[in-house]
Amino acid sequence: MSEATRTRTGAVRRAAPWLVLLAAAAVLPPASGDPTITYLATTASIYVLVGTGLNIMFGYTGQVSLGQGALVAVGAYTTGVLMADHGWTFWAAAPAAVLVTTGAGTLMALPAFRLSSWYIALVTLGAAMAARSLLVEFEGLTGGWSGLVGIPRPAIGSRELGERDVLWLVIALNAVLFIMVRNIVDSRLGRGMMAVRDAPEMARSVGVGPVRAKLFAFACGGATAGLGGALLAVHHGLVTPDDFTLDFSILFLLVVIIGGAARLAGPIIGTLLFFALPELLTGLAEWRGLLYGAALLALMVYAPQGVAGAWDKLRARHRRDGPPVAAARTGDGGAEVGPPRGAPLGVELSGVRKSFGGVHALRGVDLTIEPGEVHAIVGPNGSGKTTLLNVISRLLWQDEGRVLLGAEDVSRATAERLARRGVARVFQTPRLLGASSLRDNVLLGAYARERAGGPATVLRLPRARRERAALAAEADRLLGAHGLAGRADEAAAALPHGEQRLLEVARAMMARPRLLLMDEPAAGLTPRELEALGRLIRAIRDAGTTVVLVEHHIELVADVADVVTVLDRGEPVTSGAPEDALGDARVVELYLGAPA
Ligand SMILES: Nc1ncnc2c1ncn2[C@@H]1O[C@H](COP(=O)(O)OP(=O)(O)OP(=O)(O)O)[C@@H](O)[C@H]1O
């Protein structure tokens, strides 16, 4: 079978369950002959739509919102007012509603730049409560407690859509949204959002702007809530404040959590379990509260990643029980790290000071790192090594002094900008997307050099597809060069510590960096892994990348460094070739203590 045929067959096999689900949702309710079932199926499908938007915000970007119900209300009322009072068609009113709620959703994002997730939850909860009061207050526009009635169904020409047509419309919109979200999640946009959720500093070090990522997520959540509101308005034919209680707002978050946050199927499963199933089992109405509570508790304890997450885990275990996958491990790390995307970058620090309250972490550091060398920074615990790396990578700004990258003054530049200039970073403790595959983790490293824009990515246009395929092949090659060949689809969190470190180096190399900053990469490695790391660092330097290596492992430093700088209490003590710097009497005293 040719590669193209195999790819096509794989795609068909992956799409098959979704096509079956779509067909079932479109055909079965109308075929039941019971209008209530069609009505409920439409309502549930609208909830899936809103839940999918919230999944982008909460599941993939980690931004909790208890205010989705308020945005749905804004969408519903905007559509209601425009259609019932101003005679707009649905096709004009719905985009207007989406525009309004995208704006409102983006406004709700503003506190997210300063507050932690749980404070944002409170802010959005406040927004939900305020929105309901406003709906009642602005009686002239919204009809107060009585709401808006007589909202017509969407029409094509003079034909008004029936109940079944509205269901099909909602299902079609869900299908389009599902494909768009899948494309986003499997792209630099999605990887960037997950990096902001899991490791904000690492996200910045690969070039992801957290503000843009959060704004994008909130805008997606706002847009889908607006669309959901517009559809609810024409589906019900009326909107009242009672439709948008606090429970309604919380419902969407529960749907995402129960179904499985950051899983494409999460909102579908969550809606089925949380809304559709109990509606159908009306005989259990009295017990519903108790059943919900018990199910939620059981889920939190036994399946914190929701039903879809538990299902994925089960499948992964089943796969592991099967015949072993032939994992080709080269394990040797070295050769194919690839060339940097430009000439190696040097760094010059002059008079750099950084304090944390009364702690002076850096006390006026002057340091020159020449392009193309491996420059090791050593020193006792707390001497300021990580702070120095943070200042060079711009995750921290110095209080005083100047930082030059090549010839450019970057004293006021952001970490994201440095990533675009070709600076990559490996952290003291690996910062990875734990739930994502090794390939996706490495692909994240290419964030700053990917060219396909937002629309090309969301619609997966040929340009974006070609770029993605080329980068995926490059990521697989890099995994091989770091001893992780044949394991691209495994989850990063399942790797042992040493391999997680190598994966981080592979991610950094995916940036094709001109300057690589490594913070204690040898910590916790086995002797064999250490040897591979030594070879890797030399190969990276030989390929034309400057390496700054913060390290306690003196044998490794002596083995790979061209220059060693020793820091003590925030100041360089000495700098020079390894044999000179490490043999300096002051350095020996620092490490071994003063002779008696
Ligand atoms: N965010 C912070 N807030 C307060 N103090 C900090 C912060 N970061 C670092 N420090 C302090 O600054 C000093 C230098 O810390 P830094 O982590 O740079 O040292 P280090 O040489 O990397 O140490 P180690 O080898 O243990 O990693 C330490 O006294 C540390 O406690």
DSSP secondary structure of 191-253: HHHHHHHH-HHHHHHTT--HHHHHHHHHHHHHHHHHHHHHHHHHHHS-B-GGGG-HHHHHHHH
Nearest to 391 by CA among 375, 408, 407, 403: 403
Residue of 324, 516, 331, 484 whose CA lies nearest to 418: 516
Quote the CA–CA distance of 141 and 92 in Å, as a whole number: 19
pLDDT for 335 beyond 80: no
Give the integer Cα–Cα distance in Å for 219 and 411.
32
Work out the pLDDT band at 593, boundaries 50, 70, 90.
low
Q: Tell me which of 352, 355, 365, 386 to substitute to probe ligand 1's pocket, judged by most ligand atoms within 8 Å of the beta carbon.
A: 386
CA of 173 relative to ligand 1 center, distance in Å? 51
Q: Is the pLDDT of residue 351 over 90?
A: yes
CA atoms within 13 A of residue 234's CA, in its CB half-sphere:
30
pLDDT attached to residue 247: 79
Q: How far apart (Å, rounded) are the C-alpha atoms in residues 263 and 108?
A: 24
- Mean of the per-residue pLDDT values for the chain? 87
> What is the secondary structure of 470-521 as a DSSP string?
HHHHHHHHHHHHTT-TT-TTSBGGGS-HHHHHHHHHHHHHHT--SEEEEEST
pLDDT tens, residue by residue, 411-462: 999 999 999 999 999 999 999 999 899 999 999 999 999 888 888 888 889 8
CA 387 to ligand 1: nearest atom: 18
Sign of CA dihedral 218, 221, 225, 227: positive
> What CATH superfamily classification does 340-422+513-596 receive?
P-loop containing nucleotide triphosphate hydrolases (3.40.50.300)
pLDDT of residue 596 exceeding 50: no
Percentage of the chain modeled with pLDDT above 70: 89
Query: Which residue's alpha carbon is at the smallest distance from atom 24 of ligand 1?
Result: 381
Which protein residue's CA is at the shortest distance from atom 8 of ligand 1?
A: 387
Mean pLDDT of 399-414: 95
- Which residues on adjacent β-strands are paired with residue 549? 376, 518
More confident residue, 289 or 6: 289
Q: Whose CA is nearest to atom 12 of ligand 1?
A: 361
- 399 SS3 class: coil
Across 192-206, average pLDDT: 95
SS3 for 409? strand
User: In the predicted model, is pLDDT for residue 113 greater than 70?
Assistant: yes
Token output for 270: 């969550």
Q: Is the pLDDT at 360 greater than 90, yes or no?
A: yes
**Residue 281 binned pLDDT confidence (cut-offs 50, 70, 90):** low
pLDDT at 289: 66
AA letter at 254: L
The reported pLDDT for the residue numbered 323 is 40
Query: What pLDDT does residue 22 have?
Result: 82
CA neighbor of 438 nearest in space, from 191, 246, 72: 191
Query: In a mutational test of the pocket of ligand 1, which residue from 352, 353, 354, 359 has the highest number of ligand atoms less than 8 Å from its CB?
Result: 359
Which residue, judged by its Cα, is nearest atom 31 of ligand 1?
382
Domain ranges of the chain: 17-279, 340-422+513-596, 433-510
Q: How many CB atoms lie within 10 A of CB 114?
A: 8
To test the pocket of ligand 1, the residue of 201, 356, 365, 378 to mutate (highest count of ligand atoms within 8 Å of its CB) is: 356
Nearest to 515 by CA among 549, 483, 554: 549
Give residue for tokens 């010839």: 407
Closest atom of ligand 1 to 383 CA is 21
Interatomic CA distance for residues 271 and 338, integer angstroms: 47
Average pLDDT (242-267) is 86
The first and second tokens of residue 117, run together, are 């997730």
Alpha helices (runs of H) in 346-396, residue ranges in sequence order: 385-393
Q: Give me the residue label for tokens 């990533």.
A: 419
CA of 515 to the centre of ligand 1 (A): 23
Please choose, from the candidates 207, 235, 198, the residue with its C-alpha nearest in 3D space to the C-alpha of residue 83.
Answer: 235
What pLDDT is recorded for position 355? 96
Provide the 3-class DSSP secondary structure of residue 280: helix
To the nearest 5 percent, what fractions of the chain are helix, strand and coil? 60, 10, 25
The pLDDT score that the predictor gives to residue 332 is 46
Give the percent of the chain with pLDDT over 90: 55
Q: How far is the CA of 310 from the centre of ligand 1 (A)?
A: 39
Going by their DSSP bridges, the two strands 423-426 and 515-519 should be labelled as parallel
Of 215, 204, 247, whose CA–CA distance to 102 is shortest?
Answer: 215
Residue with tokens 């915000």: 57
Q: Which of 90-99, 143-152, 170-179 has the lowest mean pLDDT?
A: 143-152
CB 289 within 8 A of CB 298: no
- Interval 47-64: pLDDT, tens: 999 999 999 999 999 888
Give, rounded to a whole angstrom, the gap between the first and last alpha carbons of the chain. 76
Confidence of residue 123 (pLDDT cuts 50, 70, 90): confident
Here the ipTM equals 0.97
Of residues 7 and 461, which shows the higher confidence score? 461
More confident residue, 501 or 294: 501
The tokens describing 267, both together, are 């909102």
pLDDT at 9: 63
pLDDT score for 278: 65
pLDDT of residue 330: 37
Distances (CA, A) of 4 to 11, 15, 418: 11, 16, 39
CA distance 515 to 540: 10
Give 376 or 276, the one with higher predicted confidence.
Answer: 376
- Confidence band for 288, pLDDT divided at 50, 70 and 90: low
Identify the residue whose C-alpha is closest to ligand 1 atom 11: 361
- Provide the pLDDT confidence category of residue 286 given band limits of 50, 70 and 90: low
Q: What burial class does residue 250 get, using C-beta atoms within 10 Å of its C-beta: 0-12 exposed, 13-18 middle, 19+ buried?
A: middle
Beta-strand (E) ranges in 69-209? 155-156, 159-160
464-486: pLDDT as tens digits: 899 999 999 999 999 998 888 88
Q: Cα angle at 464 between 458 and 468, to 5 degrees?
A: 110
Q: Per this entry, what is the length of the chain?
A: 596
Q: pLDDT category, 125, cuts 50, 70, 90? A: confident
What value does the mean pLDDT take over residues 72-82?
95
Q: What is the DSSP string of 64-79?
A: --S-HHHHHHHHHHHH
- Give domain 17-279's CATH architecture: Orthogonal Bundle (1.10)
**Residue type present at position 466:** R
Distance CA 516, CA 345 (A): 9
**CB within 6 Å of ligand 1 — which residues?**
356, 359, 361, 379, 381-387
Hey, whose CA ends up nearest to atom 6 of ligand 1? 356
Residue range 65-86: average pLDDT? 93
**What's the mean pLDDT in 545-565?**
94
Atom of ligand 1 nearest to the CA of 379: 21
Q: Which protein residue has the closest C-alpha to ligand 1 atom 26?
A: 381
Query: What confidence score (pLDDT) does residue 135 get?
Result: 86
In this prediction, residues 210-236 reach a mean pLDDT of: 95
Identify which of 349, 250, 260 has the alpha carbon closest to the alpha carbon of residue 300.
260
Query: What pLDDT score was predicted for residue 333?
Result: 43
